[in-house]
Amino acid sequence: MTEPKGPKQKPKRATEVDHTVGNRIALLRSASGMSQTMLAHALGISFQQVQKYETGKNRIGAGRLRAIADRLGVPVSVFFAEDLEVAGDGLGDLLALQESGALALLQAYESIADEAMRREVLKLVQAAARLGQGSEPLA
C-alpha cells in the first residue's frame, strides 16, 4: 500500500489561543462554583477531558465550546475577547481571581457567617490595598 502523495501534515497541537480559552474556562467554572466533575457530567465527558481543555493540552471543537459556554452561562465570545471588560457582564473582574491567593481569599471571606465581621474584613483588606498603593488610609 502506498502513502498518499503531497506534503505531510503535522498533528494539530494546542496553541496559545487554546491555553487562553482553557484558562478562561477554568476561571469561569471555578467562579461559578462548578467542579470539573460537574462540568464534565453536564457535557457527557470525563473530568480528565475537562482538565485537558483547561490546561490547553487538548483543543476544543466549536460545538463543545458552545456547550461549555451554555453551561457556564456566558457567550462564546468571552473565551476570545482581548479585553474582558469589553466583553461585558463584569467578566474582566474575574481575571483578578487568577492572582495568587485571590480565590483562597474569596473562599475564606465567603465562609464567614457573621455579616458584621464580613464588613470589617472587607474594610481591613481595602485599607491594606490603599496602603499598598502608597496612599493614606481613610479614617
* Domain hosting residue 133, numbered range: 100-139
71 falls within a domain: yes
Q: What is the pLDDT of residues 30-54, one digit of tens each?
A: 888 899 999 999 999 999 999 999 9
Classify burial at 82, counting beta carbons within 10 Å of its beta carbon; exposed 0-12, middle 13-18, buried 19 or more: exposed
State the amino acid at position 13 in one-letter form. R
Residues 130 and 108 in one domain: yes
Residues 104 and 68 in one domain: no
Residues 105 and 122 in one domain: yes
Q: What is the pLDDT of residues 79-103, one digit of tens each?
A: 887 755 544 555 656 666 666 777 7
Residues 65 and 20 in one domain: yes
Residues 47 and 25 in one domain: yes
How far, in Å, CA of 62 to CA of 88, rounded?
A: 22
How far, in Å, CA of 26 to CA of 47, rounded?
A: 12
Residues 84 and 135 in one domain: no
Q: What is the pLDDT of residue 27?
A: 86
Q: What is the pLDDT of residue 35?
A: 94
How far, in Å, CA of 7 to CA of 111, rounded?
A: 58
Residues 120 and 136 in one domain: yes
Residues 119 and 69 in one domain: no
Is this prediction's pTM over 0.85?
Answer: no
Residues 31 and 88 in one domain: yes
How far, in Å, CA of 81 to CA of 94, rounded?
A: 13
